[in-house]
């Protein structure tokens, strides 16, 4: 099972990134646990400099922009 985390303070871009991750998981039909992390203390542990951040299996994949559904699907398939 993949572990996907979307880090961000709860802004619109962060919510869109989370929604795109959920949609990508649905379209690719993989087992994944998608978590939205908006707690500043938790985000600090990941050395977040710009949000949103997409992490797949504890590896940062995208930071500082909203990843599109297609891009997230490609990342999920590549792993």
Tens digit of each residue's pLDDT (9 = 90 or more) over 7-40: 999 899 999 999 999 999 999 988 999 999 999 9
Residue 53, Cβ density class (10 Å: 0-12 exposed, 13-18 middle, ≥19 buried): buried
**Which band of pLDDT confidence, cut at 50, 70 and 90, is reported for residue 79?**
low
The answer to whether 51 is a known catalytic residue is no
Say whether 38 sits in a helix, a strand or coil.
coil
Catalytic residue among 14, 21, 25, 62: 14
pLDDT at 78 over 90: no
Q: Taking the domain 2-78, which CATH number applies?
A: 3.40.30.10
pLDDT of residue 68: 98
Residue-wise pLDDT for 36-74, tens only, equals 999 999 999 999 889 999 999 999 999 999 999 999 999
pTM of the model: 0.93
Catalytic residue among 3, 10, 11, 70: 11
The answer to whether 74 is a known catalytic residue is no
């Amino acid at each position: 099972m993949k572990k996907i985390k979307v880090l961000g303070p709860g802004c619109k871009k962060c919510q869109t990134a989370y929604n795109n991750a959920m949609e990508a998981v649905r379209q690719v039909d993989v087992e994944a646990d998608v978590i939205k992390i908006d707690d500043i203390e938790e985000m600090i542990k990941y050395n977040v400099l710009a949000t949103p951040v997409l992490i797949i299996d504890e590896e940062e994949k995208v930071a500082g922009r909203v990843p599109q559904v297609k891009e997230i699907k490609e990342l999920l398939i590549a792993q």
